[in-house]
Structure 1
Amino acid sequence: MSEQPVQGQVITSQLIASLAARTALETPGVLRLEPTIQGFLARLGPAALQNLRNPGSQNGTYRHDGVTATISDGTARIHLDIATDIAYTALNVAETVKHRVRESISHTGLTPGRVDISILAIEPQPRTKLS
């Protein structure tokens, strides 16, 4: 019997940010992630060089358009800036996003840490044009 090596993947802060963003966007009531000026400026600062050299690491922070993921000592912390649909209660949407993101992180083997949600806009969902 031959032993096949198990292929592993390193869980990076970039991967966790992507997972959190996708999870948030799949939550009913979330219209989009909201990039902020503060996030843009943070990406231009000293952390930008780190992101260019090493786009996401096992220990470190990754920021991108409305999501920040930080991994430290096996714990992942997330901050999301979102816009919600006015047809949903914003607080319920934020709580649902928080719960779903924590659950998604737990499947990676990391410990879910703090998940902060900032609701930057509440607006009606855009109507689709009928042909």
Structure 2
Amino acid sequence: MIRKIWDKVMNREVISYLIFGVLTTLVNWVVYWIMVREAIDYRAATAAAWVVSVLFAFIVNKIFVFQSYDLHLRIVRKEIVSFTACRAASGVMEMVLMVIMVSWLKMDEYVSKILVSVVVVVANYVFSKVFIFQKSEEKPL
């Protein structure tokens, strides 16, 4: 039974999402770390890191993870709007969770960042899978 669940969950899409999710998270963390190191408030650093990582994530998720090769303007526009809206929702979730953990619970900001990142990666996969990318029969050129 566990083997069946494992085989169903661990497929090319999930594995590539995890790989690119880690890379997207690293982009987010590096931008965050650089900004905090430069004495920029953690809230501003979180927002800037989110913007940069969303741009990176859209490209790799569209092409490599969900293999959405349709480049028709109508489709790409829909994907970008949906992706941005869903990432905005997870960005708000990230900011709220960071404020709760750092400001209210007085947790270390880096520990908080790691915990929040796990929650955000899972939420973003669900958003992308369910709401954003549609499989296309067209293959890349």
TM superposition score category, shorter chain reference: 0.3 to 0.5
Q: What's the TM-score once normalised by structure 2's chain length?
A: 0.33
Q: What's the TM-score once normalised by structure 1's chain length?
A: 0.36
Larger proportion of helix: 2
Larger proportion of strand: 1
